[in-house]
Structure 1
């Protein structure tokens, strides 16, 4: 990619985005999100690898799927219900010459998580990389607005599903395999409007560091990425319109990140070049501290 001033590399607020119903659609993003469609060039760093990525229909998950494919990996794209977005991710992966499978369903269900792992192994013959990326959030002005049901859903989607998938996948991963979780700047600088979401992201960071100590005994590395504000369908479908239009303006760059700006970190953590990295949280927060 040509050298550029990162402050002006992508659109900055105010954004023209209109509100979307949850879980949102990539097709309706304005400005359009960049997943690396025209910019990312692979170099074979994941040749022969097989990956399972949750939330890979759009946003960061789509960018991970595309970059992994351009690095030589086959990908299982796990998604909730966004069929049109998921099929677009399949198309992008298959354009690289790699295999793609899209599997819909709710990762709150342990049986579905187990089925995802089995489907990946059945389809590809092995599983080398697990990326726990899917997440649920809703913003509220007060804890009084946060129902017990929503709090439970947030933890089941963001934390329980990660546990289910790691538990199912770890016995099948071979030495050199990798688990990558998505935490957030919210784990370190929580916003009260995202009370439940922020708490889950702190749990993910802690879980990552603990599991890394166990998994390395099998030669498996476990790490996490902590994004700051990223321009994905999650934003207009879960945040007030006024916050969406100014989303990311408080970073040092004055803008939100695009999904492709996160994906290369996942490539590093999945590739053999990251062989001495485990138990780490990689921040891509637009300049905010995570420690």
Structure 2
């Protein structure tokens, strides 16, 4: 498959890119940070540096990916961040807007910019929301942004099914970004390795009967709404 991956950072984004490249997929990376340069060199793949919140810049990157890869079968938006545990009374309005935009507008932008190509391939789009244990241990802006991804997933899947385009999202719990040892067993306290998320992405890429779903990968911590940390 030809896959465009946006929001490449040293954690989840990199893990996804490495996993899909190792499976033999053709990938194109996109991020505003410098980490994408090093990762693209390591994986021997093409990349673009742009702010995914800027639609025009993203559209240029998507067009380049389509031409370089010779088509586009899937787009994955890992963009997010702005996670913190600031209480409402101390949370700044600008912080709220920044977190909302970085988590929500990026998902809309990537689907809008790639829409014609996904129509052509009857492709798929995958976004990132968050599981309840993350929402409830976060801040208003982060929760609003991830909540927007949840409902956009439902709306976009409904709107785009007429073109054969599938839209789904992953809602992870707390993911280990440092590759520390962790059993990964349900209910275990602490952060989880990215393996479960990678498995969910692989399923969504290849199962043509799944659309409009937000797949939770939270290790069971959503059951009692504990943080897992």
If the TM-score is normalised by the length of the shorter chain, which range does it land in? 0.7 to 0.9
In the other structure, the counterpart of 2:208 is 275
1:105-138 superposed Cα distances (whole Å, 9 cap, x missing partner)? 2112111221221121121121111101111214
> Is 1:55 aligned to residue 1 of structure 2?
no
Of the two, which has the highest radius of gyration? 1
Give the distance between the partners of 2:168 and 2:138, measured in 1 at CA. 27
**Counterpart for residue 163 of structure 1:** 108
Q: TM-score, normalised by structure 2?
A: 0.86
Number of the residue aligned with 2:222: 289
Q: How does 1:109-124 map to 2 (within 5 A)?
A: 109-124=54-69
What is the RMSD of the two structures over their aligned residues, measured on CA atoms? 2.3
> How far apart in 2 are the matches of 1:269 and 1:197?
24
**Contact kept? 1:80, 1:104, Cα under 8 Å:** yes
Alignment of 1:36-115 (within 5 A): 49-81=1-33, 83=34, 85-94=35-44, 100-115=45-60
Shift of 1:140: 4.1
Corresponding residue SS for 2:116: coil
How many Å separate the matches in 2 of 1:286 and 1:92? 31
User: Within 5 Å, which residues of 2 pair with 1:170-249?
Assistant: 170-173=115-118, 174-186=120-132, 190-191=135-136, 193-232=138-177
Please state whether the residue corresponding to 1:266 is helix, strand or coil: helix
Q: Distance in 2 between matches of 1:66 and 1:260?
A: 12
Contact 2:102 2:145 survives alignment (8 Å): no
Q: RCO (CA 8 Å, sep 6+): is it higher in 1 or 2? A: 1
Q: By how many angstroms is 1:179 displaced? A: 0.3
Secondary structure of the equivalent of 1:171? helix
Return closer, same or farther for 1:141/1:88 CA change in 2, 3 Å cut-off.
Answer: same
| TM-score, scaled to structure 1 | 0.68
Deviation per CA, 1:61-103, whole angstroms, max 9, x where unpaired? 111111211222111111222x2x3234224433xxxxx1122
1:5 alignment partner in structure 2: none
Distance 1:145 1:115, change over 3 A: farther
Q: Does 1:254 align with 2:189?
A: yes
Q: Compute the displacement of 1:211 (Å).
A: 0.6
8 Å CA contact 2:73, 2:123 repeated in 1: yes
Give the 3 Å change call, closer, same or farther, for CA 199–165 of structure 1 in structure 2.
same
